[in-house]
Amino acid sequence: MAIDLQTAFESEPPTLDFIWPGFLAGTVGALVAPGATGKSFWALEAAMSIACSSAGGDLVGLNPTHTGRVIYLAGEDPPAALVCRVHAIGKHLVRQAREIIMENLTLEPIMGQRMNVMDSRHLARIIDFCGDARLIVLDTLSRIHCLDENSNGDMARLVGTLEHVASSTGAAILYLHHVSKGSAREFQTDQQQAARGASALIDNARWCGFVAKMTEKESECLSDLPDDRKPIGNDRRGHFVRFGVSKQNYDATPLDRWYQRRSGGVLLPVKLFEATQESNRKVWRGCA
């Protein structure tokens, strides 16, 4: 249906429905990171944030305006590993939050099921299963198709198929994806071009976030101790990851934020400071 231009010119536009800041309902987004960085933990905690409508359930600090049903299709890990993650996260959630998440979050292991969204039968089942979802998480992209990830044509068709799922369900689709070996080697995993494979994967998505490991340089100029601000150091930098947005089509790009890896792999927000002795302490905004 064509846009009514007169109405668009003369009437107040509708309020955009964001899943979280910048990630619009009914669109496709990506979360990219090297393996073993924490993207699955971040995505699972984010899924719980969207599934929970009470205080105490938003561990990653997304502050969603609206919450609802979330479908998480986990293709990389066996059920036992997923249970361990849920248990570790649950230790940081209040009882009421856990109860609401149990009602609204479906965590479905699909490892070994050879799911293929490009197969019309598989696609129809996914749309039917996710019909009332607000967010659908696909972990990871490579587990749900059999196309050539280096082909722009194939990846444009893949993202187009995910857009069809988003349009059919009204949900936002978040797919997890790995970065290229080159971007990981050059510590450029926070760049929009860092994703592995064809550029269409990110060019055609409407939102792209990243999770990056703390670099050695960052560990030398950042501190998690507000009093003496001793540098984190190379020995401890593996406990910290940075989340940010490399592409955002519908809102201003937010500042990056840091998370500290806790017991079991859980990511919790942490404030980092410049590792100096100046009296004017500043929350981290980036190393020069």
- What pLDDT, on a 0 to 100 scale, did the predictor assign at position 277? 52
Please give the full DSSP string across the chain, using - where no structure is assigned: ----HHHHHHSPPPPP-EEETTEETTSEEEEEE-TTSSHHHHHHHHHHHHH--STT--TT----SS---EEEEE-SS-HHHHHHHHHHHHTTS-HHHHHHHHHHEEEEE-TTS---TTSHHHHHHHHHHTTT-SEEEEE-GGGS--S-TT-HHHHHHHHHHHHHHHHHH--EEEEEEEBPHHHHHTT-TTSGGGBSS-THHHHT-SEEEEEEEPPHHHHHHEES-TTT-----TTTGGGEEEEEEEEESSSPPPPPEEEEE-GGG-EEE---EESS--SS--B-----
CB-based contacts of 163, cutoff 8 Å, min separation 6: 27, 28, 173
- Distance between start and end Cα atoms, the chain: 50
Rounded Cα gap, residues 63 and 61, in angstroms: 6
- Domains in the chain with CATH codes: 17-214+238-270 (3.40.50.300)
Tell the residue number behind the tokens 């999770």, with chain if given. 211
- In tens digits, the chain (288 residues) has pLDDT values of 899 999 999 999 999 999 999 999 999 999 999 999 999 999 999 999 999 988 899 999 999 999 999 999 999 999 999 999 999 999 999 999 999 999 999 999 999 999 999 999 999 999 999 999 999 999 999 999 999 999 999 999 999 999 999 999 999 999 999 999 888 888 788 888 899 999 999 999 999 999 999 999 999 999 999 988 999 999 999 999 999 999 999 988 899 999 999 999 999 999 999 997 553 445 555 565
Tell the residue number behind the tokens 């089942």, with chain if given. 125
- What pLDDT, on a 0 to 100 scale, did the predictor assign at position 251? 87
- What pLDDT, on a 0 to 100 scale, did the predictor assign at position 288? 53
- What pLDDT, on a 0 to 100 scale, did the predictor assign at position 196? 95
Nearest to 272 by CA among 234, 242, 238, 235: 242
